[in-house]
């Protein structure tokens, strides 16, 4: 029932990652946006902030709940999707087109899952 694009990598904390040249683009998965429900607030770092593997770099809030965003990589934020700050519901509309941050100078990455493994992981979460 959820969409798991093949061209992306995923984490067990439900972020997706796409590598373009040396830049890592990070977003949240379809499973994550559905579990959160209507998203009403996104808190993101600023350009030049450092992020660290498996550490929180911001949060997403729905009407129901708050969820931390965990960084799949260690590096420096080089771009932030400002559109989300004004219109967080974009994450519900299309969580793959609407990335959160782009990270450069990446020195460490998490263990990524491919689309099939991530799908299995989500299905095992019930």
Partner 1 sequence: MELKTPLYDVHLQENGKIVPFAGYLLPVQYPTGVIKEHLAVREDCGLFDVSHMGIITFKGKSALASLNYILTNDFTNMKTGKVRYTVMCNENGGCIDDLIVYKFADDYYFLVVNAANRHKDYQHMKENILEGTTIEDISDDIAILALQGPKSAAVISKLLPLEHIPTGNYSAIEEVYISDMKCMISTTGYTGEEGYEIYTASENAVKLWQVLRETGKEFNLIPCGLGARDTLRLEASMPLYGHEMNEEITPLEAGLDFAVKMKKEDFIGKKALLEKGEPKIKRVGLKMLDRGIMRENQNVYLNDNLIGYTTSGTHLPYLKKALAMALIDKDYSKLQTVVEVDVRGRKLKAEIIELPFYSRNK
Which residues in this chain contact partner 1 in the complex, by CB under 8 A?
Answer: 37-38, 40-41, 43, 59, 61-64, 66, 85, 92
Q: Least distance (Å) from partner 1 to the CB of residue 94?
A: 15
Alpha-carbon distance of 123 to 126, in angstroms, equals 6
Q: Least distance (Å) from partner 1 to the CB of residue 111?
A: 27
Alpha-carbon distance of 58 to 68, in angstroms, equals 6
* Selection from 38, 36, 18 nearest residue 26 by Cα: 18
Q: Residue 17 or residue 39: which is nearer to partner 1 going by CB? A: 39
Alpha-carbon distance of 56 to 63, in angstroms, equals 20
Q: Least distance (Å) from partner 1 to the CB of residue 64?
A: 6
């Amino acid at each position: 029932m959820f969409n798991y694009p093949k061209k992306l990598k995923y984490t067990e904390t439900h972020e997706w990652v796409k590598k373009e040249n040396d830049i890592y683009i990070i977003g949240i998965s379809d499973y994550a946006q559905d579990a959160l429900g209507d998203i009403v607030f996104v808190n993101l770092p600023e350009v030049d902030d450092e992020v660290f593997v498996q550490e929180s770099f911001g949060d997403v809030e729905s009407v129901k709940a708050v969820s931390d965003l965990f960084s799949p990589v260690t590096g420096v934020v080089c771009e932030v999707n400002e559109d989300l700050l004004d219109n967080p519901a974009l994450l519900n509309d299309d969580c793959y087109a609407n990335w959160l941050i782009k990270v450069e100078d990446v020195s460490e990455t998490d263990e990524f899952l491919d689309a099939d493994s991530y799908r299995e992981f989500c299905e095992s979460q019930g």
